[in-house]
Structure 1
């Protein structure tokens, strides 16, 4: 039976997922640009140009991808629901029988299963939801493509700017340039660990392990970018 109280929680969970993964992509991608630029011994102005160009272009690309994928998913689920409603109208006994058998397999006795199915069948939406859950594993919920795209873009941009913060400040306090990459690395590492810990809430794993995993992934990506930058910068 549909539980309306779960809908806001499910949607907020989807947005949290977009925030975490969008933020991780943003900060790792931007820090790789910073590390590659540092390895190639490029000026901090070039770092800012490359960093922000990459940040905005990739953020926009991810947002468009999220918008299109969510829109396509909504269209698919709407089509599936429509077909299922037609099937229920044309073959009500068969659909009720499948749902009743599913309940019996889950431990509900036959009498109660019949009562539940017959009661649900009086209400179109709850009945369709249960049949959809039986056949597809979950109720279909229509997400907002624009909201998902906006959350992804904002998360990518906000977290992605972290490795660039010290270079922005260095425009006004030049003395900071000497340790700019070290400071950028520290800020990025702390943010990566925090996002990894947040990710554990989405995938239900140990927060400490998840935090260090993200720190390791980000570090490896930056190392590769640094080595490539150093090699190309020496040519």
Structure 2
């Protein structure tokens, strides 16, 4: 028992040492140039997509309203009402799409399981050809397929991914959580452009100054989202921030220009 314990301890120390060495190499780039791993999270897509859409949508609305020379009260009323309405729509849309995707995957798995049960030979042949098309040697492909054929659940999942390109449904996924996260992210990020019209109330009544403040807060929010996107995807921070800011600037400029043009066409006076 003492020898086994000592061996396990030595192995644990060796593994910890190797892990530590790997972490050090990763921090300084690593001798092998190993790419940086993306941050893994269950709601990454919902946060990034909802955040970017919220900032661009809300700031574009503010830009069009400001170009039409409406008051700060109009900006706040229309901005927050639009923010909540769009947030509910986005959250519900994410919930529906996630639920549909999960239901489709479950249905496809049931169909694939039936095919594997009733037409095992044909399914094995299809998977064999799929592996060969990917460049696997015929003997190796045959060996792999024969092994998978012994385990029905594994074979069904592999058949779904290799032949249909669909991941098996994950029972741990909760579509309502995706919808809730999307709604929350939309409200949080979308509030950034509107904060200027609230924070500056005690200091100035100049709507132009408040609009400039909204521009600055929107740019900061977009930059923060760009940094988060770079961290999540393992991308270059400067490039990700630049793309995000450029997207927001184009949308805001288009909204401001359109609002100004429509104001002149409608003959609205300042």
TM-score, reference length from structure 2: 0.74
Q: CA deviation at 1:212?
A: 1.8
Match among 131, 144, 162 for residue 192 of structure 2: 162
2:254 matches 1:211? no
Q: Deviations over 1:145-164 (max 9, x none)?
A: 20111111111111000001
Pick aligned residue for 1:61 from 89, 101, 125: 89
Bigger Rg, which one: 2
Alignment partner of 1:141: what SS?
coil
Contact 1:39 1:226 (8 Å CA) reproduced: yes
From 37, 42, 45, the counterpart of 1:17? 45
Corresponding residue pairs, total: 226
CA contact (8 A) 1:170 1:177 kept: no
Distance in structure 1 (CA, Å) of the matches to 2:143 and 2:59: 59
Structure 2 residue runs without a partner (length 5+)? 1-36
The match for 1:31 among 55, 59, 62 is 59
Distance 1:166 1:107 in 2: 58
Runs of 4+ in 1 over 6 A off after TM superposition: none
Aligned to 1:5: none
Q: Could you tell me how far apart the structure 2 residues matched to 1:225 and 1:215 are?
A: 15
| 8 Å contact from structure 2 (residues 54, 186) kept in 1 | yes
Partner of 1:70: 98
1:17-59 Cα deviation digits (max 9, x unpaired): 1111100110111111211222222221211101100100011
Instruction: Pick which of 128-137 and 222-231 moved more.
Output: 222-231
**1:123 Cα deviation after fit:** 1.9
Question: CA-atom RMSD, angstroms?
Answer: 2.7
Q: Does 1:52 align with 2:80?
A: yes
Q: Distance in 1 between matches of 2:234 and 2:119?
A: 40
Counterpart-to-counterpart distance in 1, 2:120 and 2:71: 70
**1:222 is matched with which residue?**
252
1:1-235 to 2 correspondences below 5 Å: 12-13=40-41, 15-142=43-170, 143-171=173-201, 173-175=202-204, 177=206, 179-200=209-230, 206-231=236-261, 232=263, 235=268
Checking the alignment, whether the CA contact within 8 Å between 1:17 and 1:202 is kept in structure 2 is no
**Structure 2: how far apart are the matches of 1:202 and 1:141?**
23
Q: Name whichever structure is richer in helix by fraction.
A: 1
